[in-house]
Structure 1
Amino acid sequence: MNFTMSFAELMPIAPVMIVALTAVVVMLLVAIKRNHNLAATASVIGLNLAALYIIFVVLAGQFAPANVMNLFIVDPFTMLYQFVIIVAALACCTLSHAYIETYKDNREELYILMLASVTGALLMVASTHYASFFISLELMSIPVYGLLAYTHQRSQSLEAGVKYLVLSATASAMLLMGMAYIYAYTGTLNFVAEPGKLFTTFSQPAVVLGLALIIFAVAFKLSLAPFHKWTPDVYAGAPAPIATFLATVAKVAMIGLFVRYVLSSGLILSDSFVIILTILAVLSILAGNLLAVRQVNLKRILAYSSIAHFGYLLVAIVSARNTDFLQVQGFATFESVNVYVITYVLTTIGAFGVVTLMSSPYNNTDEAGSLAEYRGLFWRRPVLTATLTVMMLSLAGIPLTAGFIGKFLVIKTAVAGQSWFLAAMVIIGSGIGLYYYLRVMVVMYMTPPENPRIDAVDHWGQKVGGIMVLGAAALVLLIGVYPDPIIAVSKVAFFAISPELQQFILALVQSGFN
């Protein structure tokens, strides 16, 4: 194969190549001359180019799924998740610029690590092979170790990096061992090549053990209960913009990869597997919401909140099996899952963005984590308070916010799939969550202390990070009032189904499977 053909074959993953080349460019710029603004600008330009390429491909109508080296597949589902990842990464870059500006040590390497991690995240959502699954996951995870411990003068930051390093390495070892067990039995690393094989061999001990190890590793990465213990500690200790990165880019990449894995392999058709996902969803909803009630640290509240939200996402995946997946005609649309991911990312960016703006003026010796730091914030920073209020209402699922649209579609999918118990769990979890989200809002409108210890900088709304947070708040409200464009995009972002898997599903339906 000549070079031209190889280049054409790689074009579907052009956004990945753009981000990877941007990381190399930033590395060269840092080697030539250290300049924080230049490194940040180059990073943002590269991410914008990748986002614009995806928009160009979509506007050109190039929706046909493309197979790249039998390791990746680029379809509308891939492009949507890659776009969401890039947008989240752009938000994290802009927040990091303000946060790290007063840092006394080297600042430029943060962008190199972030771009390398984004490259892995973009590859994750396109993976169709165990090799690309594992390598892209590690490419995304390893830079995060350094990002979490970047402000190492703060003992909490260093502790967060070490905790995540040890626990994430353990999860990766479990994942690799699980893949080895499955490969030993199936003889293939491509989980799309023989769809239905995992479904038909689910009773084999080696396959069951392998799948269990993979599910445990994925549950760790998604902070699903009972594998969630690391999340509040790491979020609380991490630099605020890196906590944002972990809560958005890393989580979206993992859920995108997990959805592709369980659907492409036909694993979602197994009742036993669905029961496992149901248990994880229920435990995550209960643990996330109940543990958040007792927290007095905003970053820990958001950490436990993310556990509950990914429980809601599992509810959508389980319920969509009957409403979307079994009625495929060559592709499936997971509308509720896609909408929920988009609304979750926007809301999380906004919430953590406010924390970052409150933390950025300080020399990384303390974070604006404690709720006490937000007491009376309304009387000092009314617009910033309004922004965080919108985010809390959206996380709670209050009408006229994006979060309401996401939860409504999840409940709608659960009801359509006759998953009454799971629909009830989403409602109960949302009811519990309402308490601690409202508590955050009440604190902000209380009588302010005489001498506030932490505050946002003056004219924060005129800085890039502030503009980004305000934009996220505007989008959260816009989607809540007018969700049609996001729903339409989520429907168009169909998931490519191989002909072999389609035939397997049709055979199951004809045999009376439900």
Structure 2
Amino acid sequence: MNEFTMNDLMRLMPYAPIIAVVITVLLVMIAITIKRSHVVTGTITVVGLNIGLFTLLAQIGGVISSGSAVPQAEQLFVIDNFAQFNMVVIFICALACCTLSYAYLMNLKDNKDELYLLMLLSTTGALLMVCSQHMAAFFMSLELLSVPLYGLLAYTFLRDRSLESGLKYLVLSATASATLLMGMAFIYAQVGSLSFKQISVQLATMYESPLLIVGAAMMMFGIAFKLSAAPFHTWTPDVYEGAPAPVATYLASVTKVAMMALAIRFLIDSALLALPSVQMLIMVMATLSILIGNVLAVRQTNLKRLLGYSSIAHMGYVMVVIVSIGSAADSISSMYMAVYAFTSIGAFGVVTLMSSPYRQSGEADELVHYQGLFWRRPVLTAVLTIMLLSLAGIPLTAGFITKLFAILAAVQGTNWFLVAMIILGSAIGLFYYLRVMLTLFKRPKEFIEFDVTGQWGMRMGGIMVIAVTVVVILFGILPNSLIVWSNMARIW
């Protein structure tokens, strides 16, 4: 009996970081039922996420046993180097979003505790997504990520735009999930298996099956929606604008990292990426995402909408990497997504620190709210400027390193058209990022609608935003550590 128990324990060890988050969910629920306390709920959430993160880092470093993590075809989930890398990024991003939420919710008079509960549930789904290697695990973990987001997006429901944001995402996400599920059904009908690895085995005998191609296309449509890749991008700016600022941060970081990791594992493990039709579909979506995302961002006067369109373009850059180098895209794509997530946290973090959840007129998301910010908040201006420079791919920032690797991947795959798309998209992006930066240094307005508290840098949200900025600069100046770190993100 003891031997059986020990074997079971060793099988669960790889999932210890995820189990830590699930236990945290239960503790938060118990804490809410006993007594509502923003401080207690926020503390339990952050402590639980930290325990999960440090457990994961200890497993990666070999300090504690990670159990039996050898992938098997019949398993729903697998913990490999690729999963562990993306789990670390998700933990860091979730911690940052919870920290920003604490500062944001301080002035909220309604119940604050449920936001942490929803964020933890969604994070559990994200962690499971990067480990999924089966269609059933794919769909269950994706829904566990998506369903709490409906409540998160509409959390500040007294603002009409927040309520509209949650409703739009609910309807459109349900449609995307149905399309994804139908694609899975078509693939299963043709292949007879839901395991990614088994699909690749069966592909050898049914290379260009029409049913398989239709199923793969429908799945790509569902994935593109979740990634907000064109032409399935129309929800993104509206949802970003209406969402509470820390939730928009979560949407731009955790959900994007998890969905991209799952998409990469699905395409590589199932060998669907080898199909010419799938490659062409990804190439078209990459091109449209780069062009539409950057061109439409030029017209924006709302910072959250601008960052939303920017995210569409960046998903296009990652798709270029995937279609160019195929099965070798796992590490470069993971590195790109990690840097993009950290940069988004910094940019949206500034918006969060400047915003209030109870202003019916909205949050501090219009560019006019940031006019002359340098003259009263120079450090905050420096943070936002560095984040924008990183998104634009300017040297000495981490964004430059990742964009350079994206171009090198396209060159390696001899996709010269996509190389030209990245360069053109970066040139357009530089224009609207510089426009935001110029606004920060203009003559300040006489009437200031939004501003951070006097000692914002001493609060946890402010410290976290500054820390992310240091990381972005450090990886930009000394990229070797980033490259070495990302090289571990390999799919077995």
TM-score for the superposition, normalised by structure 2: 0.96
For 1:54, the equivalent position in structure 2 comes to 56
CA displacement, residues 127-153 of structure 1 (integer Å, 9 cap, x when unaligned): 011000000000000000000000101
CA displacement, residues 372-394 of structure 1 (integer Å, 9 cap, x when unaligned): 10001111111100100000100
1:468 aligns with 2:464: yes
For 1:393, the equivalent position in structure 2 comes to 389
For 1:118, the equivalent position in structure 2 comes to 123
Q: How many angstroms apart in 2 are the aligned matches of 1:216 and 1:361?
A: 34
* Per-residue deviation, 1:429: 0.3
CA displacement, residues 264-292 of structure 1 (integer Å, 9 cap, x when unaligned): 01111122211111101000000000000
Whether the 8 Å CA contact 1:277–1:314 is kept in 2: the answer is yes
| 1:74 alignment partner, SS class | coil
For 1:433, the equivalent position in structure 2 comes to 429
In angstroms, what is the RMSD of aligned CA positions?
1.6
Whether the 8 Å CA contact 1:16–1:50 is kept in 2: the answer is yes
For 2:132, the equivalent position in structure 1 comes to 127
Number of equivalences: 487
Q: How many angstroms apart in 1 are the aligned matches of 2:26 and 2:150?
A: 20
Q: Indicate the larger mover: 340-349 or 158-167.
A: 340-349
Q: How many angstroms apart in 2 are the aligned matches of 1:244 and 1:70?
A: 32
Q: How many angstroms apart in 1 are the aligned matches of 2:11 and 2:240?
A: 39
User: Which of 38, 41, 45 is equivalent to 1:39?
Assistant: 41
Output aligned runs, 1:116-155, within 5 Å: 116-155=121-160
* Per-residue deviation, 1:11: 1.4
* Per-residue deviation, 1:492: 2.0
For 2:28, the equivalent position in structure 1 comes to 26
1:180 aligns with 2:182: no
1:286 aligns with 2:291: yes
Q: How many angstroms apart in 2 are the aligned matches of 1:361 and 1:17?
A: 32
Output aligned runs, 1:493-504, within 5 Å: 493-496=489-492
For 1:328, the equivalent position in structure 2 comes to none
1:480 aligns with 2:476: yes
Whether the 8 Å CA contact 1:40–1:97 is kept in 2: the answer is yes
1:379 aligns with 2:383: no
Whether the 8 Å CA contact 2:302–2:367 is kept in 1: the answer is yes
| Unaligned ranges ≥5, structure 2 | none
1:66 aligns with 2:70: yes
For 1:11, the equivalent position in structure 2 comes to 13
Q: How many angstroms apart in 2 are the aligned matches of 1:397 and 1:241?
A: 24
Whether the 8 Å CA contact 1:103–1:363 is kept in 2: the answer is no
Letter in 1 for 2:279: V
1:244 aligns with 2:249: yes
* Per-residue deviation, 1:438: 0.2
1:269 aligns with 2:274: yes
Output aligned runs, 1:78-97, within 5 Å: 78-97=83-102
Q: How many angstroms apart in 2 are the aligned matches of 1:362 and 1:380?
A: 23
For 2:235, the equivalent position in structure 1 comes to 230
Q: Where does structure 1 differ by over 3 angstroms across 4 or more consecutive aligned residues?
A: 1-4, 61-65, 332-335, 360-365
Q: How many angstroms apart in 1 are the aligned matches of 2:340 and 2:113?
A: 29
| Unaligned ranges ≥5, structure 1 | 326-331, 497-514
Letter in 2 for 1:86: F
